[in-house]
Amino acid sequence: MTTLSVASNQSPTGLDIHAIRQDFPILAQQVNGKPLVYLDNGASAQKPVAVLDAMERYYREMHSNVHRGAHTLGDRATVAFEGARETVRAFLNAASTRQIIWTRGTTEAINLVANGLAPRLRAGDEILVSRMEHHANIVPWQMLAERTGAKVVPFGITPEGELDLESFDQLLGERTRILAVTHVSNALGTVNPIRELVAKAKAAGVITVVDGAQAVPHYQPDVQALDCDFYAFSSHKLFGPTGIGVLYGKEDLLNEMPPWQGGGEMIERVSFERTTWNVLPYKFEAGTPAIAEAVGLGAAIDYLSSLDRPALEAAEADLLTRANQLVETVPGMSVIGTARNKVPVISFKIEGLHPSDIGTLLDQQGIAIRTGHHCAMPLMDFYGVPGTARASFAFYNTQDEVDQLFTALQKIQRLFA
């Protein structure tokens, strides 16, 4: 057995990780009598006090419906709600808040786009997706294909877990109408060359849809530099609340697309003879929105902006480096997905152990990871496994927590050796 050295809460980048962890009260608890080691950030990240306080302040001081009330609370709520939209616009470097649509999350955002693009598709058209996509970026396109007679065409990945660009080039053809691809793989942590893919697709006249759910917790994307037509992400992975997400879209396409849901707010005028639609972004925001959640997401982005983002990225890279170094200390352990460019995600298996057993035994030691197919069954099929165990790190995780994970895995492996 390899003895692991004791790491410090001080990041090699100089960040005071201990001070940052104080901003996340949930991390201070114990689970099964052990200090919590939360390594399931890819599923949902924890929330800083700034987010909790912002949402409580909304409910205590300004709760009202937005846009409609002719009173002070309504004005306060609207200012906070639309202020959060502006915060998201700046975060993505979108040209206008008209391009920022509130959704329930990445899944709803992609479904909205798929529905809106239906009039553009004809029988025989092709929707190009990668084999590493989350189900949320596969199933809506399959449903669209069934409605229109189009076809979903998967392009390949390499054994290392990178996109096979030769496969992409071969399949990007005259029948391709849509490219749907993830910025970062949720199961592997692979960071994909989105700008290159978008440029090739754009040259072929193809509409591009990017799933950014796993990218935004680690990088701040620039949608104008990426030049993608649509970009979607979820708040809860970006240290914000659940139940809200964002769809960025280019204005000409959003204006062309029909509304997805009907009701209040998304209308300009209603009569029994004819209804006309509201302007962007409200055309796609039927009904009372998730106001407190939008405020919380804005607070999460503001919190991140108050930190040294490049230093956070460096700290996360150090966590991944440490984890990769320790893989060899666990007999029979192998990593699924060894791309050259990754966020801090280790998706792994241990010979003779089922991923769910690994997860259960780690939980007994206070360590939270994710197990299963990670809503990426085609990817698991590619690797010939039913699922993996996945440890996904955030900037508030410490080098010591990485060591605790591998010490626990060593114990589990010995139990079944």
| Active-site residue set | 375
How far apart CA 260 and CA 385 sit, in angstroms, is 37
Beta bridge partners of 232: 211, 247
Alpha-carbon radius of gyration of the chain:
22
Pairing of strands 267-270, 370-372: unpaired
Decide: 181 and 130 in contact? Cβ < 8 Å.
yes
Strand arrangement, sheet containing 333-335 = 333-335, 345-350, 388-392, 370-372
End-to-end Cα separation, the chain, in angstroms? 12
| Amino acid at site 258 | P
Beta bridge partners of 191: 184
Pairing of strands 230-234, 207-211: parallel
Decide: 309 and 20 in contact? Cβ < 8 Å.
no
How far apart CA 59 and CA 36 sit, in angstroms, is 30
